Structure 1
């Protein structure tokens, strides 16, 4: 398995994005705008790699933590970079680090998010060809992650990011796609709903849907990540974000 999400992972929501959505029509100004990428680094020590699902869920929460951080909003120090990133194609890159590499990555401005055992550090967006040297030299391939035990049943009160059962993805690609799904869910919510989700610690689950459930989810009017197919997989839907009953109540057709 190759952990590779270093190439474009653009996500386009369902068939008719709203006029104010950063995801506009399939070919628009976002393609001509300067391209930025959101770097994520997952810590993978040789002796104790994280479980795959734990890494996916931690990456999704890391994206939400970055989006909700006060430095990413208003006149915050990361706000301009976030706006520039959202005005172009939404790209996320997952790289791995261990030992001294991880320690160097932690010295750069960013936020470390922890899961059950996984650690993911998210950094403010950078130009596609302007990575900090400490991150640019980290590996994006050669890592295998799996689940030693089946993931626990998801909390019915928390959102679930459902993966397409017909698409095989490397760990890095799946982490980026889960991050896309979390981002679409965030955009669907009102300010009050976002605050409630943030205050709860961004509970969520990442699971693979069964074929029948996947078809129902696609038809349900919920946020859908549609990969452009630039790398690893063919173009098409990869993730559907389904809201929980208590936090992040995603409603079909709802826009903040």
Structure 2
């Protein structure tokens, strides 16, 4: 059944948003031998780096594409379930040239948006990641802020928190969380048919005004925010760049 691996996300969504800020970090098992993550590989060539917004949009699409791929019900099922049952950690890494080509052989999905390419890999234990992944740099993924055009019709919008600066790598992981939460919420509502028309899992990534962010924010009523405004929120555990409990992205259906 398409997207079934995402069901635990929907089940714990409201509980996660309701936790005290510090508890969002404490709730994640830190046993280093058991930590699992989805590598999100950003193609950033030295001579022709991509624009920031298309790269983030490709990251969002690639992450959810792995979870909605038919292989998620088959050979990818166990690693996805083991990962989602613990936490949906992602680690964004940058690659270029031969290193980018090498990760294409690993299980995952590559998405291209307006020339920007991202490959999301099937998650696994961090201590067991293949060398094609571990040799890639985590730092150095910053890209200049661009000015994207209007939001395309009929695509979900992932709104970045306008008060929280994030590197492109951090933002890529966060929008990947957002697209997955959106898919999980749709399944919980019995709206899996949406996936049939979600072409290439395309999402728009934008930064709203502070007033727009406040108007969209679920506050202390995440379930009604979804039911009435089709908005879900990503709340970060605070391991990198942002404080524990920070809401980094709001995902909204068109």
Closer, same or farther: CA 70–15 of 1 in aligned 2, 3 Å: closer
Q: How does 1:13-32 map to 2 (within 5 A)?
A: 15-16=14-15, 26=24, 31=29
Q: Secondary structure at the match of 1:61?
A: helix
Query: Partners in 1 of 2:164 and 2:38 — Cα distance?
Result: 23
Q: Secondary structure at the match of 2:65?
A: helix
Deviation track 1:80-112 (CA, whole Å, cap 9, x = no partner) reads 000000010210011111111111111222221
Q: Secondary structure at the match of 2:177?
A: helix
State the 4+ residue runs in structure 1 displaced beyond 4 angstroms.
12-15, 25-30
Query: Partners in 1 of 2:27 and 2:175 — Cα distance?
Result: 25
Unaligned runs of 5+ in 1: 1-11, 19-24, 245-256
Q: How many residue pairs are counted as aligned between the two chains?
A: 225
Deviation track 1:145-193 (CA, whole Å, cap 9, x = no partner) reads 1245x10111342210111000000000000000011111010003863
Query: Partners in 1 of 2:140 and 2:71 — Cα distance?
Result: 33
Closer, same or farther: CA 29–17 of 1 in aligned 2, 3 Å: closer
* Cα contact 2:24–2:237 (8 A) shared by 1: no
Query: Partners in 1 of 2:80 and 2:52 — Cα distance?
Result: 27
Query: Partners in 2 of 1:115 and 1:31 — Cα distance?
Result: 34
Query: Partners in 2 of 1:100 and 1:14 — Cα distance?
Result: 39
- Which residue of the other structure, out of 237, 240, 243, is the alignment partner of 1:234? 243
- Which residue of the other structure, out of 170, 182, 185, is the alignment partner of 2:182? 185
Query: Displacement of 1:32 after TM fit?
Result: 7.1
- Which residue of the other structure, out of 85, 88, 95, is the alignment partner of 1:87? 85
- Which residue of the other structure, out of 102, 105, 120, is the alignment partner of 2:103? 105
Closer, same or farther: CA 204–70 of 1 in aligned 2, 3 Å: same
TM-score where L is the length of structure 1: 0.80
Q: Secondary structure at the match of 1:129?
A: helix
Query: Partners in 2 of 1:16 and 1:56 — Cα distance?
Result: 27
Closer, same or farther: CA 111–176 of 1 in aligned 2, 3 Å: same
Unaligned runs of 5+ in 2: 1-10, 18-22, 219-223, 226-230
Query: Displacement of 1:42 after TM fit?
Result: 1.2
Closer, same or farther: CA 211–86 of 1 in aligned 2, 3 Å: same
- Which residue of the other structure, out of 146, 156, 164, is the alignment partner of 2:161? 164
Question: For residue 113 of structure 2, what is the aligned residue in structure 1?
Answer: 115
* Cα contact 2:160–2:206 (8 A) shared by 1: yes
Question: For residue 130 of structure 2, what is the aligned residue in structure 1?
Answer: 132
Query: Partners in 2 of 1:166 and 1:29 — Cα distance?
Result: 25
TM-score where L is the length of structure 2: 0.81
Deviates more, 1:187-196 or 1:134-143: 187-196
Higher helix share: 2
| 2:185 is aligned with 1:176 | no
